[in-house]
């Protein structure tokens, strides 16, 4: 017989970094939280995440997103310290800044112009500089001779995304949240003033529901009268054996881990829900990595895999509160690592208050995709 569970204040659907951040913030505030996770079979974006706490270039089409990103990144130090104190898990967070490596002068010029445009309109400015090839070689001695330059932003950092996910779930449980893996949600419906949640393993009831299921939001949201404009974008990732330490900064497509291996990948493919890899993309990924850092030419690749990113039509997050009763919240986000302090902090407060302020969250409403041309 299917198991039944008592009503929770909140049920968070989706146990990835976004859902776990929200569950952690709610539980830390004293809410009774149930976190439902499909488990390892889910399309887990964290598997394809370089772990960049990334500011530069975010919000090129949305000034609100630029401000949101900068504010979240500025909270990462205290956020990581709190999680380590609560769980004993070191997230390996560092904030030395990061370089966006450009392979041509034209790319460098476009990148610099975009960064300047973002700063011109942002409420919270982010310092950056354009670094020419000679200065770049001084700062990154192993950079390849074919690289044209880079943009550098001191606000960027790195963290281990898998350690982050583990710490969030552990910390949420420490504050009383219940984490249930292997609970794929198959249907949702309103039940009086609450929500009835049917999973493959049992039935749950909640006063309020947070849809943070990533790509799964596309099917779940319409069951409660909402729309989640989201599509999968595949990225292919490679990791090398341990090599000597040479990269103390984050970059747009390669990061050296604390242990010494290098994780790299920047591909973006419309491949549906196919998480596989292709030889052509992996070959090009390796070529660019070796062009940027020739010392990697002799490094052995120990693993390669594909992962699906969660992407809205414009790349900007979607935050929405259901009309009517207002006890359902939709959260669809690509930058789960960078925005984790925001989701555990300000967003959790808004959820507890049962109100997404219209002025604050209007730029993130999915209604922006329904604007008709005059």
pLDDT in tens, 70-127: 999 999 999 999 999 999 999 999 999 999 999 999 999 999 999 998 888 777 777 8
Residue 55 lies in a domain: no
Domain limits at 135? 98-154
Q: Are residues 335 and 276 in the same domain?
A: no
What's the Cα-to-Cα distance from 337 to each of 41, 72, 91, 173, 240, rounded to whole Å?
A: 20, 10, 11, 20, 22
pLDDT digits (tens, 9 = 90+) for 243-295: 999 999 999 999 999 999 999 998 999 988 988 999 999 999 999 999 999 99
* Mean local confidence (pLDDT), 32-43: 79
Q: List beta partners, residue 320.
A: 330
pLDDT above 70 as % of the chain: 94
Residue 180 lies in a domain: yes
Count structural domains, the chain.
3
Residue 73 lies in a domain: no
Pairing of strands 178-180, 98-102: unpaired
Q: Are residues 222 and 356 in the same domain?
A: yes
List the structure tokens of 48: 């394809």
Residue 74 lies in a domain: no
Q: Are residues 188 and 332 in the same domain?
A: yes
* Domain's final residue, options 107, 138, 154: 154
Cα distance between residue 141 and residue 134, in whole Å? 10
Q: What is the structure's pLDDT at 372?
A: 44
* Domain's final residue, options 311, 344, 361: 311
Q: Are residues 322 and 359 in the same domain?
A: yes
CATH number of the domain residue 265 falls in: 3.30.9.10
Residue 352 lies in a domain: yes
Residue 72 lies in a domain: no
Q: Are residues 219 and 246 in the same domain?
A: no
Cα distance between residue 320 and residue 331, in whole Å? 7
Q: Is the pLDDT of residue 2 over 70?
A: no
Smallest CA-to-CA distance from 331 within 174, 38, 339 is with: 339
Residue 76 lies in a domain: no
Tell me, rounded to whole angstroms, the distance of Cα 25 from its chain centroid.
Answer: 16
Task: Provide the pLDDT confidence category of residue 46 given band limits of 50, 70 and 90.
Answer: low
Q: What is the structure's pLDDT at 374?
A: 36
Which has the higher per-residue pLDDT, 134 or 373?
Answer: 134
CATH number of the domain residue 333 falls in: 3.50.50.60
* Domain's final residue, options 311, 338, 360: 311
Q: What is the structure's pLDDT at 86?
A: 98
Q: Are residues 204 and 237 in the same domain?
A: no
Task: Provide the pLDDT confidence category of residue 143 given band limits of 50, 70 and 90.
Answer: very high
Residue 58 lies in a domain: no
Q: Are residues 110 and 8 in the same domain?
A: no
Q: Are residues 246 and 306 in the same domain?
A: yes
E-assigned strand segments in the chain: 3-4, 8-13, 33-36, 52-53, 98-102, 129-131, 149-153, 157-158, 178-180, 185-191, 194-199, 202-211, 231-240, 250-251, 254-256, 262-264, 301-311, 318-321, 328-332
Q: Are residues 104 and 174 in the same domain?
A: no
* C-beta neighbour count of 320 within 10 angstroms: 21
Smallest CA-to-CA distance from 187 within 212, 228, 213, 221 is with: 221
Cα distance between residue 255 and residue 355, in whole Å? 38
Task: Provide the pLDDT confidence category of residue 323 given band limits of 50, 70 and 90.
Answer: confident
**Count of alpha carbons within 13 Å of 124, Cβ hemisphere only?**
17
Cα distance between residue 262 and residue 17, in whole Å? 22
Largest CA distance in the chain: 69
Structure letter (DSSP) for residue 175: T
Which has the higher per-residue pLDDT, 301 or 370?
Answer: 301
User: CA torsion, points 345, 349, 352, 355, in degrees to nearest 10?
Assistant: -130
Q: Are residues 245 and 296 in the same domain?
A: yes
Smallest CA-to-CA distance from 224 within 190, 183, 266 is with: 190
User: Helical H runs in the chain?
Assistant: 17-28, 63-74, 76-87, 105-121, 133-139, 161-174, 217-220, 279-292, 340-342, 348-352, 358-361
pLDDT digits (tens, 9 = 90+) for 8-17: 789 999 999 9
Q: Are residues 322 and 174 in the same domain?
A: yes
């Amino acid at each position: 017989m299917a198991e039944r569970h008592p009503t929770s204040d909140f049920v968070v659907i989706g146990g990835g970094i976004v859902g776990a951040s929200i569950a952690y913030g709610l539980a830390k505030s004293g809410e009774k939280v149930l976190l439902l996770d499909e488990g390892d079979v889910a399309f887990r974006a964290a598997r394809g995440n370089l772990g960049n706490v990334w500011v530069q270039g975010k919000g090129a089409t949305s000034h609100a997103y630029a401000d949101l990103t900068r504010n979240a990144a500025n909270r990462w130090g205290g956020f990581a310290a709190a999680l380590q104190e609560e769980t004993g898990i070191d997230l390996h967070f560092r904030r030395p800044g990061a370089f966006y490596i450009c392979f041509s002068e034209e790319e460098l010029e476009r990148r610099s112009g975009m960064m300047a445009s973002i700063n011109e309109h942002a409420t919270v400015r982010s310092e950056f500089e354009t670094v020419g090839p000679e200065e770049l070689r001084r700062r990154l001695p192993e950079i390849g001779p074919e690289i044209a330059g880079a943009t550098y932003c001191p606000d960027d950092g790195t963290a281990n995304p898998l350690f982050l996910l583990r710490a969030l779930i552990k910390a949420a449980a420490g504050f009383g949240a219940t984490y249930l893996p292997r609970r794929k949600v198959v249907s949702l419906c309103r039940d009086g003033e609450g929500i009835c949640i049917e999973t493959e393993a049992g039935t749950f009831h909640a006063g309020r529901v947070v849809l943070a299921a990533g790509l799964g939001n596309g099917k779940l949201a319409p069951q409660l009268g909402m729309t989640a404009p989201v599509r999968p974008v595949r990225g292919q990732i490679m990791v090398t054996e341990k090599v000597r330490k040479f990269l103390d900064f984050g970059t747009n497509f390669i990061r050296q881990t604390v242990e010494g291996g290098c994780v790299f990948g920047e591909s973006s493919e419309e491949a549906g829900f196919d998480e596989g890899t292709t030889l052509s993309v992996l070959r090009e990924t390796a070529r660019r990595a070796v062009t940027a850092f020739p010392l990697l030419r002799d490094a052995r690749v120990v693993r390669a895999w594909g992962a699906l990113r969660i992407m809205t039509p414009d790349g900007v997050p979607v935050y929405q509160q259901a009309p009517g009763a207002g006890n359902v919240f939709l959260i669809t986000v690509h930058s789960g690592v960078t925005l984790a302090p925001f989701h555990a902090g300000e967003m959790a407060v808004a959820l507890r208050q049962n109100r997404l302020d219209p002025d604050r969250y209007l730029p993130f409403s999915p209604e922006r995709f329904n604007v008709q041309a005059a």
